[in-house]
């Protein structure tokens, strides 16, 4: 088996990074624990969504509008659910953001 210098260096860097990451680095903290561990002013919050769990109900969109006091029926939006129109095999349709909600409201908010 041959091993070029480039491959060796690449693998060495990968190995070093992997060794530097203990399993505990992936522990999930509650917001209170995170605040206690770091000074509050330095906490940077992120927002993650597992899109494989999304069924397109659009309640996040509705909640976003209510929470931020945005008019519900006005076509102004920062949240939307990308979804597909009904046509047998739903996923093969063009992803034009057409909404599965029957009343035809765009799932945006």
Partner 1 sequence: MKNHVLRPLWVAIAFIALAVLARYILVPKDFGVQGESFTYNFHRASNVQEWKDFPVKYLGKEVCVECHDENGEKLASSPHAVIQCENCHGPGLDHPETENPETMTIDRSRSLCMRCHTDLGYPPDSNRASIPAIAPNEHNVDSECVECHDSHNPDLEDM
Residues engaged in binding partner 1 (CB under 8 A): 52-59, 63, 66-67, 86-91, 100-103
Nearer to partner 1, 39 or 91 (CB): 91
Residues 6+ apart with CB under 8 A from 71: 65
Question: With respect to partner 1, which residue has the nearer C-beta, 14 or 78?
Answer: 78
Query: Least distance to partner 1 from the beta carbon of 87, Å?
Result: 8
Q: Which CB sits closer to partner 1, 60 or 77?
A: 60
The answer to whether residues 94 and 102 touch, using CB atoms and an 8 Å cutoff, is no
Minimum distance of partner 1 from residue 27's CB (angstroms):
22
Radius of gyration of the chain (CA): 22
Q: 3-state DSSP call for residue 44?
A: coil
């Amino acid at each position: 088996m041959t091993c070029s210098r480039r491959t060796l260096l690449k693998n060495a860097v990968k190995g070093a990074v992997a060794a530097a990451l203990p399993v505990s680095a992936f522990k999930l903290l509650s917001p209170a624990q995170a605040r206690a561990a770091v000074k509050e002013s330095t906490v940077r919050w992120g927002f993650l969504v597992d899109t494989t769990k999304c069924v397109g109900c659009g309640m996040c969109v509705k909640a976003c509008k209510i929470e931020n006091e945005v008019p519900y029926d006005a076509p102004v939006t920062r949240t939307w659910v990308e979804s597909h129109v009904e046509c047998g095999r739903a996923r093969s349709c063009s992803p034009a953001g057409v909404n599965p909600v029957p009343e035809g409201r765009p799932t945006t908010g």
